[in-house]
């Protein structure tokens, strides 16, 4: 049983009030869902111990989710919506008195509409189960985050996620057509799926990226696509990082949208690909769709890459990337080896991307304790692209490791702001980026706080994440 009296009383009260609700009270289950994958909270737990929520509930319907929220609002009990806990920014972090609202039992596809090419799904469905089920019917949504096996479709929407094939299929906000959301008041809001509509501002976007602070997704409708007939990928070594960036810019400018575009700097290319014997950056591109489209796109892309000095290194590195692309590293294992590492993803226009890439790599490498600062580009647009930085430092003392961690984040984010980029391309804000939200949003931060107060006047929805109101 949960050791806290408050937890036991809360659990009994929830069971009494909400018919059939699964209420979990054992310490291990609650502990497993009291934080996400944020590296800093793991370090902090080694210094101060890991806080645990009061109770865990596992609803099976939208009505139960709404009833939990209504109860929490009435009793002023904080609630942490929980998908599968793969967030990396500390959006899930218990302080001790919360209800963790785990939606992972709401995990079914409700309907596939073959004519409209849409799917209706419950929020807790695991991404890999979802794509597998679509695949069996001859479809894909085209959303392939590295974390597809450990994240939920509702979590994708709550964090504005991005998948590895985003250059072709778009990001989650292009995929979600409609949703049902439970509000703090216990009301259920339906934002109907429409091909497109001009009924004022698009309200579903208020909830996308709101990280459980404005409402809980209880159902989602996404657009889907017939599964690709053909895939074709190649790797190229590039003479310089800037030549690789220029090749990507020209590919997008010409109107090509290969599913996968990944440019690794020399450090990451060396870490990941045997072809990099000459210490050069490596560019992977992969097209998918109808055979005619794939063939013409692949040929045009290869010509653009060659014009920037790219040397064709064959299909091997793409095949190897496809095999290993969903690997989930163990942060615990890294820490036990005396290493601290994290990834920081940002985005910027093509005119400043080379400067940002080089400046962060230089400034990051200069931080005492950091022995590798590197990056890759993995989501490209006509206007610019993301950069996914990774730093690795050797430090076994958790307090000292936290200081290095904070310096690496500050350096990366403040350099991004200095050069005019966005501080978050797809992982969200959580707790790790909160202090810089105003730098990007300016006065609009007050508007976000106003929205929070409107949707959640008693401040019960995931307090501490994204925005304080």
Ligand X SMILES: Cc1cc2nc3c(=O)[nH]c(=O)nc-3n(C[C@H](O)[C@H](O)[C@H](O)COP(=O)(O)OP(=O)(O)OC[C@H]3O[C@@H](n4cnc5c(N)ncnc54)[C@H](O)[C@@H]3O)c2cc1C
Q: Does 156 bind ligand X (CB under 6 A)?
A: yes
Are the CB atoms for 381 and 252 separated by under 8 Å?
A: yes
Tell me whether residue 310 or residue 375 sits nearer to ligand X (CB atom).
375
Least separation in angstroms between residue 185's CB and ligand X is 15
Number of residues binding to ligand X, judged by CB under 6 A: 36
Residue window 116-135: x/- pattern of binding to ligand X, with contact defined by CB under 6 A: -------x------------
d(CA 163, CA 169): 9
Smallest separation (angstroms) from ligand X to the CB of 432: 12
Q: Residues 407-426 vs ligand X: string with x where CB under 6 A?
A: -------------------x
Taking CB under 6 A as the criterion, the residue among 59, 90, 155, 310 binding ligand X is 155
Query: Distance (Å, rounded) from C-alpha 166 to C-alpha 169?
Result: 5
Helix-helix angle 350-365:398-419, to 10 degrees:
150
**Residue 62 touching ligand X (CB under 6 A):** no
Q: Are the CB atoms for 286 and 231 separated by under 8 Å? A: yes
The residue at minimum Cβ distance from ligand X is 155
Scanning the structure block, which residue is given the tokens 């063939």?
A: 295
Supply the minimum distance, in Å, between the C-beta of residue 218 and ligand X: 7
Q: What are phi and psi of 348, to 5 degrees?
A: -160, 165
Closest contact distance (angstroms) between CB of 160 and ligand X is 8
Question: How many residues are present in the chain?
Answer: 469
Interface with ligand X, residue 85, by CB under 6 A: yes
Q: By rule CB under 6 A, what string of x and - marks binding of each residue 317-356 to ligand X?
A: -----------x----------------------------
Smallest gap, in angstroms, from Cβ of residue 236 to ligand X? 22
Q: Which residue has the tokens 């007939």?
A: 229
- Hey, what are 270's tokens? 């060396």
CA-based torsion, 220, 446, 70, 58: positive or negative = positive
Comparing C-alpha atoms, which of 462, 469, 463, 464 is closest to residue 81? 462
Nearest CB to ligand X, comparing residues 88 and 404: 88
212 binds ligand X (CB under 6 A): yes
Q: What string marks each residue from 425 to 454 as x (binds ligand X by CB under 6 A) or -?
A: -xx---------------------------
For the sheet containing 55-58, what is the strand order? 22-24, 55-58, 99-102, 79-82
Kindly state whether residue 152 participates in binding ligand X, applying the rule CB under 6 A.
yes
387 near ligand X, judged by CB under 6 A: no
Regarding 88 and contact with ligand X (CB under 6 A), the answer is yes
If binding is defined by CB under 6 A, does position 158 make contact with ligand X? yes
Report the largest interatomic distance among the alpha carbons of the chain, rounded to a whole angstrom: 70
DSSP character at residue 224: -
Closest CA to 385 of 166, 156, 235: 166
What is the distance between the alpha carbons of residues 468 and 429, in angstroms, rounded to a whole number?
Answer: 12
Task: Please report whether residue 462 would count as binding ligand X according to CB under 6 A.
Answer: yes
35 binding ligand X? (CB under 6 A): no
Q: Which range touches ligand X (CB under 6 A), out of 20-28, 69-77, 145-153, 302-310?
A: 145-153
Q: What's the distance, CA 147 to chain centroid?
A: 8
By the 8 A CB rule, do 355 and 245 touch? Answer: no
- Stretch binding ligand X (CB under 6 A), from 151-159, 258-266, 289-297, 357-365: 151-159
Member of 34, 64, 151, 308 binding ligand X (CB under 6 A): 151
3-state helix, strand, coil in the chain (%, to 5): 40, 25, 35
Binding stretches for ligand X (CB under 6 A)? 36-37, 80-88, 91-92, 103, 123, 145-147, 151-152, 154-156, 158-159, 161-162, 211-212, 216-217, 328, 426-427, 462, 465
């Amino acid at each position: 049983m949960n050791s806290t009296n408050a937890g036991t009383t809360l659990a009994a009260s929830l069971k009494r009030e909400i018919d059939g609700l699964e209420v979990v009270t054992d310490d291990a289950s609650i502990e497993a869902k009291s934080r996400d994958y944020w590296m800093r909270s793991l370090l902090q737990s080694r210094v101060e111990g890991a806080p645990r929520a009061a109770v865990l509930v596992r609803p099976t319907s939208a009505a139960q989710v709404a009833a939990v929220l209504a109860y929490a609002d009435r009793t002023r009990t904080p609630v942490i919506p929980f998908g599968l806990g793969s967030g990396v920014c500390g959006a899930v972090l218990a302080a001790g008195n919360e209800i963790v609202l785990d939606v992972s039992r709401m995990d079914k596809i409700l309907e596939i509409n073959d004519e409209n090419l849409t799917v209706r799904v419950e929020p807790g469905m695991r991404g890999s189960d979802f794509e597998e089920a679509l695949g069996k019917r001859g479809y894909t949504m085209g959303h392939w985050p590295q974390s597809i096996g450990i994240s939920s479709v509702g979590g994708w929407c709550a964090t504005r996620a991005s998948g590895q094939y985003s250059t072709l299929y778009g990001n989650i906000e292009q995929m979600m057509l409609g949703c049902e959301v439970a509000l703090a008041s216990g009301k259920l809001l339906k934002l109907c799926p429409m091909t497109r509509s001009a009924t004022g501002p698009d309200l579903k976007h208020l909830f996308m990226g709101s990280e459980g602070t404005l409402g809980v997704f209880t159902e989602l409708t996404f657009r889907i696509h017939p599964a690709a007939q053909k895939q074709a990928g190649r790797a190229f070594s590039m003479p310089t990082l800037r030549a690789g960036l220029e090749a990507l810019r020209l590919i997008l400018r010409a109107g090509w949208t290969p599913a996968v575009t990944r440019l690794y700097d020399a450090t990451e290319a060396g870490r990941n690909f045997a072809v990099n014997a000459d210490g050069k950056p490596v560019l992977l591109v992969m097209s998918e769709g109808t055979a005619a489209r794939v063939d013409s796109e692949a040929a045009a892309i290869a010509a653009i890459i060659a014009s920037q000095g790219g040397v064709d290194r064959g299909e091997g590195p793409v095949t190897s990337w496809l095999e290993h692309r969903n690997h989930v590293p163990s942060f615990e294992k890294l820490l036990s080896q005396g290493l601290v590492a994290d990834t920081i993803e940002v985005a910027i226009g093509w005119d400043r991307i080379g400067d940002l890439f080089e400046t962060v790599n230089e400034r990051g490498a200069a931080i005492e304790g950091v022995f590798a600062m590197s990056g890759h580009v993995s989501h490209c647009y006509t206007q610019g692209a993301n950069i996914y930085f990774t730093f690795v430092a050797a430090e076994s003392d958790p307090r000292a490791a936290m200081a290095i961690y904070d310096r690496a984040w500050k350096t990366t984010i403040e350099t991004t702001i200095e050069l005019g980029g966005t501080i978050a391309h797809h992982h969200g804000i959580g707790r790790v980026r909160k202090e810089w939200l105003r730098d990007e949003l300016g006065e609009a931060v007050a508007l976000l706080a106003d929205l929070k107060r409107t949707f959640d006047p008693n401040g019960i929805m995931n307090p501490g994440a994204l925005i304080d109101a």
